[in-house]
Every structure is written in C-alpha cells, then in structure tokens.
C-alpha cells in the first residue's frame, strides 16, 4: 500500500469473506486520480460470530484507512453478489406513474423471500428496442434487511460515512466494462466464491455464483500432495494450469480438475443467455478476482470455451504515477470491486 496524495476523495470498500480492499479516488476536472489504496487479506471476517464479525470488520477497516493515510470518511461499499437477488423485469402496458407498484407486484413472483424482509431497488434500463415495443425493462435488485443493517453497524463502528451500498456486480461493470456496449462475460474468481455475470450494453442481465474458487484449488492441491495450505498456495501460482492435451500429471492436473466446475458454470450461463438471445454472441470473457493471475488460466479458459479471455484492468479510467503501473497491474484483479465502488461517486 502507498500514499499518493493527502487530498480528500471517495472510498470504495470491498468486504470479502477473506479480505478487505479499499481504494481512495478523487475527481479533478475531467480526470479521476488515485489518491491511495490499502488491503488486508486472510482476515477471516466470515468465520467469526455475528457481533465479533461486525466489531472486527470495523477495526480492520479503520486500520487500513489509518495505515494507508486515507483522508476521506465518505465511502461506498459492496454487497456480495451471492447474497443479493437481481432480475430484469419486462413490464407491458404500464404507465410511468404505475411502474413502482408494477415492480413490487412482479418482485413477489421472482424473489424467493418475503418482501418485508428485503430492501428493494430498481431502475429503468434505457433500451431502444423495448421503447419501440411499448414495454419497459427494469433492473430489480433486492438485499436482505439483516445484511444491510449489519453493514450500517460496521461503518458506524468504523466511523466512516456510508454513502451507499451496491452489489459487487455493478462495481465490476463500472471498473471493467465502462462504456463498452458489447456483450461480455465477467468472471470473478475470488477466495471463496466465483461469480459469473453476463453484461449486455452495460447492464448485468444474468448472474450466477458457485462456492468453488481460489481456496478450493489450494485445498485440492494440499490434499492431493499432502502438504500445508501455505505450500499449496505457492504451488498453485508456480505451476498454474496445464493444457488439456499435455498429458501432464501432478499439480497442473489437480488445478485443471479443480477449475472444471467453474468451466461448467460458465458454459451453463452462456447456454442460458443464448437460449434467450439467440442472435447475440458474447464478445469476450473478462477475468478478475484474486485468482485471475493463476498461470495459464486465460489461455486455458480460451481454449476450453473457444472464446477470447482477457484479464480486466480496473485502472483504465484512473490516472496514477507511471512508476506505479507494474504494482497496480499486479494487484488490479483484487482491487476491481473497490475501484468500481469509488468510481461511483466520481462519475
């Protein structure tokens, strides 16, 4: 972590199961500048009791802010994709004044939990095709009230002004897709979960999450080779994934087998998308998350899925000293959500 400026900006705070990442950005005229950043990994926030989790999380946030020299107290935080429900609603023959009641009615059909336990948010998607047909397309999101209250308590204890909460997906779209209107698949492989999101014209239209991610690969290596987790983690990044046709034994085969559920989930999401949008093709897969730099992973996914796969760059819309570029490129996939959150307030 490093201090780049003492000027106040906006904080993007990404609270994961195993890490907390914070980015401070500042808007200067027509540019967004990186002020500073910080992170704490292997914090095991999700493995403590409810009260301790709130208290410990607040302390970790305070520690990152203080040690990184952050001066802002205004923050946007992310809600984990797997805990937030989202759906695209097509409303027919509805006037604008009746949209709110129509959305609430449709929400009862698509959200599996009682609505009085959820906090709902929605926005109209500007879609020329639906406008011509007279229909209105709405993006609906819903988060459990208990989760939102927990976040509010965390930030009160951390003495940070929580401006808003948003789903990780929207943050990733902002930092990795930007104004690109093509159809892309965002693949975030974190420590505990992998999120697959298909984005069309800047709108996430399909989200899926599975409990297979970086930790799963590390544990598989440790179990197969009978070694410590720390050693397995190092092996994972030293060896990466072998080609399907290489016939290699040992670690590369273990890793590729561990990744196979992720590949299957991607294929399933693509088939769902094609079933509803037969005339559209996904242009590319944008890879992010802590496991994005697993050696050979982009090439491996490109081969097995027959698609273009790139590692996302969340710093593309951010200015920073050129000598920091190698370091920022290295940590970029881990910081994508935090960057997207901070960008929300600079737009």
Model confidence pLDDT, tens digit, residues 1-50: 444 444 468 999 999 878 899 999 999 888 899 999 999 976 655 444 44
CB 36 within 8 A of CB 47: no
Residue 319 to residue 331: CA distance in whole angstroms: 16
- What mean pLDDT comes out for the span 173-178? 95
Say yes or no to pLDDT of 95 above 90: no
H or E stretch covering 319: none
Say yes or no to pLDDT of 87 above 90: no
- What mean pLDDT comes out for the span 191-211? 91
Q: What is the pLDDT of residue 97?
A: 83
List the one residue out of 24, 23, 1, 17 whose CA is nearest residue 57: 17
Model confidence pLDDT, tens digit, residues 202-241: 889 898 999 999 999 999 989 988 999 989 888 888 877 7
Among the residue ranges 181-190, 236-245, 289-298, the one predicted with the least confidence is: 236-245
Q: What is the pLDDT of residue 102?
A: 92
Residue 76 to residue 128: CA distance in whole angstroms: 31
Q: What is the pLDDT of residue 133?
A: 54
Domains detected in the chain: 2-82+146-177+314-344 (3.30.420.40), 83-145 (3.30.1490.300), 209-309 (3.30.420.40)
- What mean pLDDT comes out for the span 135-144? 88
- What mean pLDDT comes out for the span 154-166? 95
- What mean pLDDT comes out for the span 150-165? 96
Q: What is the pLDDT of residue 4?
A: 47
Residue 252 to residue 242: CA distance in whole angstroms: 5
Residue 135 — very low, low, confident or very high, per pLDDT cuts 50/70/90?
confident
- What mean pLDDT comes out for the span 322-338? 95
Q: What is the pLDDT of residue 134?
A: 62
Say yes or no to pLDDT of 347 above 80: no
Q: Which has more pLDDT, 271 or 235?
A: 271
**To the nearest whole percent, how much of the chain has pLDDT over 90?**
58
Q: What is the pLDDT of residue 234?
A: 87
Q: What is the pLDDT of residue 121?
A: 87
Residue 295's SS3 state is: coil
CB 35 within 8 A of CB 323: no
Q: What is the pLDDT of residue 42?
A: 66
Angle at which helices 297-305 and 251-276 cross, to 10°: 50
Residue 171 to residue 158: CA distance in whole angstroms: 22
Say yes or no to pLDDT of 248 above 70: no
Say yes or no to pLDDT of 244 above 50: no
- What mean pLDDT comes out for the span 98-113? 90
Average per-residue pLDDT for the chain: 87
**To the nearest whole percent, how much of the chain has pLDDT over 70?**
89
CB 206 within 8 A of CB 265: no
Q: What is the pLDDT of residue 93?
A: 83
């Amino acid at each position: 972590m490093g201090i780049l400026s003492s000027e106040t900006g906006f904080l993007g705070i990404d609270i994961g199961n195993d890490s907390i990442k914070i980015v401070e950005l500042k808007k200067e005229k027509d540019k967004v500048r990186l002020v500073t950043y910080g992170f704490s990994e292997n914090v095991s926030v999700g493995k403590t009791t409810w009260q301790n989790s709130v208290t410990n999380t607040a302390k970790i946030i305070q520690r990152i802010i203080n040690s990184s020299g952050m001066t802002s107290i205004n923050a946007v935080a992310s809600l984990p994709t797997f805990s937030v429900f989202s759906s695209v609603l097509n409303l027919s023959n509805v006037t604008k004044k009746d949209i709110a009641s129509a959305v609430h009615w449709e929400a009862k059909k698509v959200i599996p939990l009682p609505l009085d336990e959820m906090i709902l948010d929605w926005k109209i998607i500007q879609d020329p095709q639906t406008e011509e047909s007279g229909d209105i397309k709405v993006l609906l999101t819903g988060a459990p009230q208990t989760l939102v209250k927990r976040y509010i308590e965390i930030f009160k204890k951390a003495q940070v002004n929580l401006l808003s909460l948003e789903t990780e997906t929207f943050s990733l779209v902002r930092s990795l897709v930007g104004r690109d209107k093509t159809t892309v698949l965002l693949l975030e492989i974190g420590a505990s979960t992998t999120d697959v999101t298909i984005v069309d014209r800047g709108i996430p239209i399909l989200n899926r999450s599975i409990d297979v991610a970086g930790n799963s690969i590390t544990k598989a290596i440790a179990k197969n080779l009978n070694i410590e987790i720390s050693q397995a983690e190092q092996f994972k990044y030293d060896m990466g994934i072998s080609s399907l046709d290489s016939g290699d034994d040992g670690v590369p085969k273990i890793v590729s087998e561990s990744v196979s559920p992720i590949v299957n989930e991607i294929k399933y999401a693509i088939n769902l998308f094609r079933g509803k949008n037969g005339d559209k093709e996904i242009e590319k897969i944008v890879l992010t998350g802590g496991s994005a730099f697993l050696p050979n992973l982009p090439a491996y996914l490109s081969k097995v899925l027959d698609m273009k796969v790139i590692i996302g760059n969340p710093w593309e819309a951010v200015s920073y000293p050129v000598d920091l570029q190698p370091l920022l490129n290295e940590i970029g996939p881990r910081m994508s959500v935090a960057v997207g959150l901070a960008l929300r307030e600079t737009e």
